[in-house]
Structure 1
Amino acid sequence: MSLRGRVLLCVGLTLGLLAVALGYVIVAGRRGAAPAAPAGAVDLSAGERLLFRSTAQVSYGRVATVPRAAAAGPRVVSGLSCDRVYAAAGAGLCLRSDGPLATYQLAVLDSHLRIKDTYPLVGVPNRARVSPSGHVLAWTVFVTGDSYNGGKFSTRVGMLDIATGETVDTLETYAVSRDGRAYRNVDLNFWGVTFVDDRHFYATMSTAGRRYLVYGDVAAQTVRTVAPNVECPSLSPDRTRIAFKEAIGGDPGNGWRLTVLDLATLRRTPLAETRSVDDQAAWLDDDTVMYAVRRGPKASDVWAVPAAGGGAARLLIPDAESPAALGNR
């Protein structure tokens, strides 16, 4: 579906969700690119740097980078503010506020952190990812208004192919296979995309009180379950493992344990981080997972832990969240 066919905006508005700025998540109405914020020396090209959102008081919310070899040291801070940020192959995705009201937008970034285009989102930004080629962007936002959910928060996934202009406005219309059988239910919910390539991805699906890792195909518009109790997956650079948060005892109310799933054997390895991690982890390299841990309403740090299950968690970037390793695929 092309971004230039804008009938989805009308559909979203009729749902009555815009008033609370938490409705059906769509990419609605192509808008002209907003002027880029001053970007300083921050860029998104591949290199030995880590990209993140600063939570330091003097640069709160702004996009920044640090060298991999000195991640806890001085940072280069841009003038661009985001609620979530991610980048790969010189392309970036910034989810951010859009004006004084509780409205949000997707900003498409080039390798120099310039804003190429913006698109309005109806929902609160939660997760962001970019495919290894840099061609496809994915995001998750919180929404309300789903009749099956009793007014509680749900999530919506969207995708944008910046090379073709094609969009995926929801995964809830995809054909679902659960445990090898066709499955349909009104309460299907998706979040936390991680890309294999421009066509294939993993994500979390919830239904009937359970959460699953699913494998998706954009061209075929299908998803199939891979393993239960997997949330916010992150595919390793070598494509063999998924880092994720696993609900303790199968109940998110108990918190989450950061875990790695081997895709060939489906063997799970709990990592040395024993605090509850409510984040979509990212890979620092093939051997290390990084993730944000909150220490206050607006304060968080990025930590790292060995992906093999041994060792100990270590502070990687203080006053930071939403990390991405620019040298990874």
Structure 2
Amino acid sequence: MTLRNKILVLCAALAVLASVAAASVLHAAGREDRRNQVQDGGPEVNSGTVSLAPGGSARIVFRTMAWGPHRDELATVPAADPAGPRTASGVHCLRFYAAAGTGICLQAERGAMTDTYRAVVLDAGLRERAHYALPGIPTRARVSPSGRWVAWTVFVGGDSYAGTNFSTRTAVLDTRTGRLTASLEDFTAYLDGKEHHAADTNYWGVTFAADDRLFYATMATGGHTHLVRGDLAARTVTALHTNVECPSLSPDGTRIVYKKRVAGLPADAPWRLYALDLATGRETPLAEPRSVDDQAVWQDDHTVVYALPGDYGSDLYTVPADGTGKPRRLLTAGLAPAYLR
């Protein structure tokens, strides 16, 4: 081999090595980028724009729990492809709900010694409209179908509905006027046909009717829980049914899905999902055999969505609301969904 050919071969070899090295760097960078998007085989999450505006294709907005840089952010997926790639907003929430272009985001503010919490009212572009300090740990949030009314519940003592050593505070906000009722305990309550006054009364889990006047919630007192119907104009709540927690009103306003304590179940997992027909009072157990500690969301008039523990903290499941069928996992690593159409 001539000296010239040896030099050409050496140059070619060096070029190949350089290409391999460059490819390795690019592959590593791409792998790192994918690692940021997909952690431990979890769902793909990418930064982008998330809107709460009505219209367009049906979509789900929820708190993504996937490990990585977007964990705890509000993210969205098409309702037709819930397992598909997620678009993350950069807005962090512990609990969330939205309707008609209004969102409610319950956030933690990390301090050097202790955490504080606040409720943030969001517009359709996830921009802050108003915020309110919270007296405890966020647990439930809802928006009325029109977007006018917002409610949230926090724990102010203890840390679980399953036990008895807890207290809650539920607030209701009129976003049109800015009037905040800091506690539903300010409303007049009626139990068994009589005005009710008791120091142990707690409320949680508001769900709004479409008329911007009525709502439903849980009232606990005397060791029992009750479904109450609230009137925002009269500022009253009236007990309707016992052993109801975290109610969720169907879109057509005829049924409530809720968690019910069932005798004989473990103390730390005492609930099963039930549906209540408001006209007849008939209860129907849903085909979910596991204990659900969540306020369900209606996917449509026939199906509800709820969270159960999963590898990332929480996964979302669906089950028919008439007691038929069986549970189905909707998506992994998700919590606090809202269906927007």
Same fold (TM over 0.5): yes
Q: Which runs of 5+ in 1 are unaligned?
A: 1-38, 146-150
Match of 1:52 in 2: 62
2:122 is aligned, of 109, 125, 131, to: 109
Aligned ranges for residues 19-58 of structure 1 at < 5 Å? Answer: 40-46=48-54, 47-58=57-68
The partner residue of 2:288 within 273, 288, 311 is 273
Q: Is the 8 A contact 2:218 2:244 kept in 1?
A: yes
CA contact (8 A) 1:229 1:250 kept: no
Task: Write the letter of the residue equivalent to 1:44.
Answer: L
Q: Taking structure 1 as reference, are residues 42 and 107 closer, same or farther at Cα in structure 2, changes over 3 Å only? A: same
Report how far residue 182 of structure 1 moved: 2.1
* Letter matched to residue 64 of structure 2: S
Q: Which residue of 2 aligns with 1:88?
A: 99
> CA 1:172 to 1:251, structure 2 compared with 1: closer, same or farther past 3 Å?
farther
Q: Percent identity?
A: 52
Once the two structures are TM-superposed, the CA of residue 295 in structure 1 deviates from its matched residue by 2.5
> Displacement, 1:102?
1.6
Instruction: Name the counterpart of 1:186.
Output: 199
Letter in 2 for 1:175: T
Partner deviation per Cα, 1:49-73 (whole Å, 9 max, x = no partner): 0111111102211101111111111
The structure number with the bigger radius of gyration is 2
Give the match's secondary structure for 2:80: helix
Q: Does 1:168 align with 2:178?
A: no
Q: Distance in 2 between matches of 1:241 and 1:166?
A: 29
C-alpha change, 1:250 and 1:88, in structure 2 (3 Å) is farther
SS at match of 2:263: helix
Match of 1:285, SS state, is: coil
Distance 1:233 1:107 in 2: 23
Task: Give a deviation string over 1:260-301, Cα, whole Å, max 9, x none.
Answer: 1111111111111111000000000000000000136x6110
- CA distance in 2 between counterparts of 1:174 and 1:159 reads 11
124-133 or 196-205, which deviates more = 196-205
How far, CA to CA, are the matches of 1:306 and 1:99 in structure 2? Answer: 39
| Structure 2 letter corresponding to 1:74 | P
| 2: CA distance, partners of 1:139 / 1:290 | 19
Q: What TM-score comes out, normalization by structure 1 length?
A: 0.83
Residue 311 (1) aligns with residue 325 (2): yes
Aligned: 1:154 with 2:167: yes
Equivalent residue for 1:260?
Answer: 275
Deviating above 6 A after TM superposition, structure 1's stretches of 4 or more consecutive aligned residues are none
The code of the aligned residue for 1:40 comes to G
The one of the two structures with greater contact order (alpha-carbon pairs below 8 A, sep at least 6) is 1
TM-score normalised according to structure 2 size: 0.80
Q: Indicate the residue corresponding to 1:293 in structure 2.
A: 308
Q: CA deviation at 1:240?
A: 0.5
Unpaired segments ≥5 residues, structure 2: 1-46, 159-163
Task: Return the alpha-carbon distance in structure 2 between the equivalents of residues 49 and 252 of structure 1.
Answer: 36
SS in 2 for 1:278: coil
**Does 1:97 find its partner at 2:105?**
no
Shift of 1:252: 8.1
Residues 190 and 205 in structure 1, CA contact (< 8 A), matched pair in contact too: yes
SS at match of 1:132: coil
Residues in 2 aligned to 1:304 and 1:90: alpha-carbon distance in whole angstroms = 24
- Aligned counterpart, 2:223: 209
- Paired with 1:306 and 1:285, the residues of 2 have a C-alpha distance of 10
| Match in the other structure for 2:86 | 75
Q: For the residues of structure 2 that align with 1:88 and 1:276, how far apart are their CA atoms?
A: 27
Question: How far, CA to CA, are the matches of 1:320 and 1:239 in structure 2?
Answer: 26
What amino acid sits opposite 2:250 in the alignment? S
- Alpha-carbon shift at residue 75 of structure 1 (Å): 1.2
Shift of 1:199: 2.2
Which one of 258, 261, 267 corresponds to residue 247 of structure 1?
A: 261
Separation in structure 1 between the aligned mates of residue 265 and residue 174 of structure 2, nearest angstrom: 35
Supply the distance in 2 between the matched residues of 1:291 and 1:324 (Cα, whole angstroms): 11
Does the 8 Å CA contact 2:172/2:184 hold for their aligned counterparts? no
Whether the aligned pair in 2 keeps the contact of 1:292 and 1:303 (CA below 8 Å) is: yes
Tell me the CA shift for residue 99 of structure 1. 3.4
Read off the aligned partner of 2:201 and give its amino acid letter: L
Contact 1:272 1:311 in 2 (8 A): yes
Offset of residue 250 of structure 1: 8.8
Q: Is the 8 A contact 2:263 2:270 kept in 1?
A: no
Give the length in aligned residue pairs: 284
Q: Distance in 1 between matches of 2:266 and 2:215?
A: 24
Q: CA–CA distance in 2 between the matches of 1:250 and 1:195?
A: 32
Residue type of the alignment partner of 1:208: G
